[in-house]
Amino acid sequence: MIKKFYLLFYLFSATVLFAQTDPVELDTIKKTHTVQFTGFIDAYYSYDFNQPPNHEVSAPFIYNYKRNNEFNINLALLSASYSGDKIRSKIGLMAGTYAQYNYASEQGLLKNIYEANAGIKLMKHLWLDAGIFASHIGNESAFSLTNPTLTRSIMAENTPYYQTGAKLTYDAGKKWLFSLLLLNGWQNIQETPGNTNKPVCTQILFRPNDKTEINYSTFIGNEKPDTAKQWRYFNHFYFTSHLSKKIYLSTAFDYGIQQKYKDKAHYDKWFGTSVILKYKLTHKFSTSLRGEYYSDPSQVIVTTNTPYGTNVLGASLNLDFSPYQGSLIRLEGKMYNAQDNIFLTKTGYNSQTYIVTIDFVVSF
């Protein structure tokens, strides 16, 4: 698998660097394009005080930092990007438990593709991109170095991290961005067997100044085979702001409904909300506090096989240390309290869990 990983990355790099062979043409392109290579390693250790026997943290809605009581790699990533006046492309190849759990339904080498997309400029400010790319939903990404907390909120863990399809983006300078997307599904590269539908999605991003973002994203589609079609309508909103040089605030809200049965006007619903406050203690130290609530009683997104599904209140506290630029050492303690006994223990299930995670991140 490692040999295949590096072979794919080498072939892409060679294509980008040597596809143009005419010296005059090369000289012209160099003035109008950039090629960047980046790497990222996210190593961690998590301990769940419920002591689940399967070496996975007991929360059924968690897909990052999933391994319990063992040292592991959440995400190791190598990326290359090309940016020109008229065309652009990205490819990222990865390994780690992030890929293991989030890409569990994908086949073969698809499990190792973080992103792979290409775009062309149709007119001023208007781009058309196609391939595999980061989700248009949420402000917490798989790239943890830029997230205010070490682990992700329950909402972020249960909305797409990646998506596959085509995206039309109108980026009107610094303030407004509009996107229209046609996708294969909620979070998948390959289509669901028997499903011929393509979800339609939108994003509106507003930056009133260089310190604040306001975002609204939607998803409308069917995730079932055509014979059992159940339309899903999903809305995501977030607001982020650097309130001062030391204080950062992030708030988010999700609300979704999905048909209970095909062709019936009866719907299951789920929602979630989170508030994150980050405070910069010194040049190298910062701390973050998160409070959140997630409710999915009909188990549309999270399956627990319990009477009340997922109704969870959560809180976390972070301490981050950045010894050098592009590096972080992070410590986080968090707790979850649920309405039902959904957290695995050594002897059964209970309604609470406490998890401590330490993380070492380097980006280059």
Give pLDDT tens digits for 327-364.
999 999 999 999 999 999 999 999 999 999 999 999 99
Which of 47-51, 105-109, 144-148 is the most confident on average? 47-51
Task: Give the pLDDT of residue 23.
Answer: 42
pLDDT at 103 over 60: yes
Mean pLDDT of the residues in the chain: 91
- The answer to whether residue 209 scores a pLDDT higher than 80 is yes
Interval 77-98: pLDDT, tens: 999 999 999 999 999 999 999 9
**Residue percentage of the chain with pLDDT more than 70:** 91
In this structure, whether the domain defined by 2-363 belongs to CATH 1.10.357.10 is answered with no
Inform me whether the pLDDT recorded for 58 exceeds 90: yes
SS3 readout for the chain: CHHHHHHHHHHHHHHHHHCCCCHHHHHHHHCCCEEEEEEEEEEEEEEECCCCCCCECCCCCCCCCCECCCEEEEEEEEEEEEECCCEEEEEEEEECHHHHHHCCCCCHHHHHEEEEEEEEEEECCEEEEEEEEECCCCCCCCCHHHCCCCCCCHHHHCCCCEEEEEEEEEEECCCEEEEEEEECCCCCCCCCCCCCCCCEEEEEEEEEECCEEEEEEEEEEECCCHHHCCEEEEEEEEEEEECCCCEEEEEEEEEEEEECCCCCCCEEEEEEEEEEEEEECCCCEEEEEEEEEEEECCCCCCCCCCCCCEEEEEEEEEEEECCCCCEEEEEEEEEEEECCCCEECCCCEECEEEEEEEEEEEEC
Per-residue pLDDT, averaged over 133-144, amounts to: 93
pLDDT tens, residue by residue, 16-25: 333 333 444 4
Token pair of 242, please?
């650097």
Q: How far apart are CA 263 and CA 142, in angstroms?
A: 36
The residue ranges of every structural domain in the chain are 2-363
Nearest to 276 by CA among 267, 286, 285: 286
Say how far residue 182 (Cα) sits from the centre of its chain.
18
pLDDT (tens digit per residue) in 227-268: 999 999 999 999 999 999 999 999 999 999 999 999 888 999
- The pLDDT, as a whole number, for residue 33 is 80
The residue-averaged pLDDT of 48-67 equals: 96
pTM recorded for the entire structure: 0.88
